[in-house]
Structures are given as structure tokens and as C-alpha cells.
Amino acid sequence: MNSKIVLFGILIVALLIVSGYYFTHGCTKEAKICPDGTAVSRVGPNCEFEECSKIENLISWSEAIIILNNGQVKEVNQFHNLNVRLILEDETTMNTIEPKLDDIINEIEKCGDTCSNIIIATE
């Protein structure tokens, strides 16, 4: 009888420890959408959202189209999260976010001869 009580007590203590760990270390499974379209989750002991990655040389979509149509772009990298990387003739890299997937491809086609030698890489 006493061994059953001790075993039951050990089981209760173990459950309290496990549940206490979960409530202090288990974060909710929600996500925050960053400006670049990526998502970050809650992490750490305080369950705070991870920082959004910072996109360097971020320009607006309209600025990107002007640069494209001016013939300054030698390569375009397109990603599924709508990020677009423009590599310019002088090796400068610019980043933008296309409104819809494949908008950059459509803009390159509309650009015509000026953009005919652009290398396109898609994810």
C-alpha cells in the first residue's frame, strides 16, 4: 500500500514538473509576417517573436521598374516569397518585393530589347 502511495506521489511530482516546464518554455505556435513576406515564430524564454531579417538596399517596386527599364540590370533573382534581387551592371545589388509572383518576369518581357540580355534565376 505504501509503495503505491509513493509511486503515485512520484508520478504527480513528475507531471507537475513536466507541465511546469511546458508552461514556462512552450511558446504559442503563431507567426508574425515580416515586411519582406517571410514569417517568424516566437522563441526564447519570454516567447518573443524573432526579429525580421533586414533586407539591405530595399527599394520600392516602382523604383525597381525604372532601374530595369533604364537598362541597368544584368541579372534578376526571383524568390517564392515575392522577394526580387536585381544585380546591376556595376555589381550593385538592389532588393524589392514584387506585388504578385512573376510580375518581374512580365516587366522584363514588357521592357523589350533593353532587357533582352538579363539573366533570370527563379526559385
Map out the domains of the chain as residue ranges: 24-54, 61-122
Identify the residue with better confidence: 40 or 8: 40
State what percent of residues in the chain have pLDDT above 70: 76
Predicted local confidence at residue 90, as pLDDT? 95
Amino acid type, 25 = H
Given 3.30.70.20, 3.40.50.720, 3.30.720.210, 3.40.50.2000, which CATH number is that of 61-122? 3.30.720.210
Predicted local confidence at residue 32, as pLDDT? 81
Phi, psi of 93 (to 5 degrees): -110, 130
Phi, psi of 83 (to 5 degrees): -70, 140
Taking the C-alpha atoms of residue 55 and residue 77, their distance in angstroms, rounded to an integer, is 14
Predicted local confidence at residue 8, as pLDDT? 66
| Reduced 3-state DSSP string for the chain | CHHHHHHHHHHHHHHHHHHHHHHHHCCCCCEEECCCCCEEEEECCCCEECCCCCCCCECCHHHHHHHHHCCCEEEEEECCCCEEEEEECCCCEEEEECCCCCHHHHHHHHHHHHHCCCEEEEC
Q: What is the pLDDT of residues 80-107, one digit of tens each?
A: 888 999 999 999 999 999 999 999 999 9
pLDDT at 29 exceeding the cut of 90: no
The confidence band for 33, taking pLDDT boundaries of 50, 70 and 90, is confident
The confidence band for 50, taking pLDDT boundaries of 50, 70 and 90, is confident
Predicted local confidence at residue 11, as pLDDT? 62
